[in-house]
Chains A and B, each alone.
Chain A
Amino acid sequence: METLLSTVLPARLEHLEELVKSVSDCARSQGFDRKRIGEIELAVEEAFVNICRYSYPGKTGDAAISCRLDNNRFMIEIADSGIPFDITQLSDPDITAPAEARGIGGLGIFLVKKMMDAVTYRREGDRNVLNLIVMKEEER
């Protein structure tokens, strides 16, 4: 497995742009097309923003991000040492509800699951480790 990117950032929104750009550049270097890169950026934003908002209630903390290549799988790992939270267990929002009945939660995670080929979660010691997996298309 080849590590393409590894970085640790304070889990604060002011670092969102920098993070998304790093992962995006990394995905571009792997030959993903513009549409897929947009989807990767979205998944990374949603996962990072979730950590910024909920992982460290009342305190600050970091998020560790790495991009790896494992055969034809591009894997983005996003880890934090905040409160345990498994986004893969979250139920999907009701996307058929009318506007006035729509809740504001859950949409981001739902988008992550829809956009990525696979999403895995594990609790490792005191860390939440989320893996976003994108399959590389066959070489043409």
Chain B
Amino acid sequence: MEITTRKEKQVIVVSLQGRLDAVTAPELERRLSALIVQGELFFLLNMNGLEYISSAGLRGILATAKKLKEKQGKIVFAGLKGTVEEVFKISGFLSIFTAFDSEEAALRTME
């Protein structure tokens, strides 16, 4: 999996490419944790390039969301599609997180 991050004003935009599974999820969680430790509070995960997510990926996202909640931070999503969107839906993640159609739409509301 490829994880790319950049900062747009106060928002860290994380673009994911490939597969978020039991092998790659710990890497994403580490990257996000490190950014939170550095003081980052607002995250936008762009899932447009993500082909696959398993419960390990969901767990990593949940752990990150809990850390952010404690600090009054926030994590939102953009570009959910196919099986990734289905997994989000089945797990109830669509009712606990905000998902936008596009990165642009998400950034507009986070400004």
Q: Which of B54-111 contact A (CB under 8 A)?
A: 54-56, 58-59, 62-63, 65-66, 69, 82-83, 86-87, 90-92, 95-97
Which residues 99-140 of A sit at the B interface, judged by CB distance below 8 A? 99-100, 102, 104, 107-108, 110-111, 114-115
Interface size class of B (residues with CB under 8 A): 20 to 34
Closest to A52 in B: B22
Cβ of A104 and Cβ of B83 under 8 Å apart? no
User: Are B96 and A98 interface neighbours, CB within 8 A?
Assistant: yes
What residue of chain A has the Cβ atom nearest to residue B63's Cβ? A104
Task: Please state if B96 and A99 are interface contacts (CB–CB under 8 Å).
Answer: yes
Neighbouring A residues of B54 by C-beta, 8 Å? 42, 45-46, 49, 108, 111
Q: Does A83 count as interface, using CB distance less than 8 angstroms?
A: no
* Residues of chain A lying within 8 A (CB to CB) of residue B65: 99
Q: Which residue of B lies closest to A112 (CB)?
A: B55
- List the one stretch of A3-11, A33-41, A55-63, A67-75 in contact with chain B: A33-41
Q: Assess whether A16 is interfacial by the CB under 8 Å rule.
A: yes
User: B66 and A100: CB pair below 8 A?
Assistant: yes
Residue numbers of B with Cβ under 8 A of A are 21-23, 51-52, 54-56, 58-59, 62-63, 65-66, 69, 82-83, 86-87, 90-92, 95-97
25 A-B residue pairs with CB within 8 Å: A16-B21, A16-B23, A35-B82, A35-B83, A38-B51, A38-B52, A42-B52, A42-B54, A45-B22, A45-B54, A45-B56, A95-B90, A95-B92, A96-B95, A99-B66, A99-B69, A99-B97, A100-B66, A104-B59, A107-B55, A108-B54, A110-B90, A111-B87, A111-B90, A111-B91
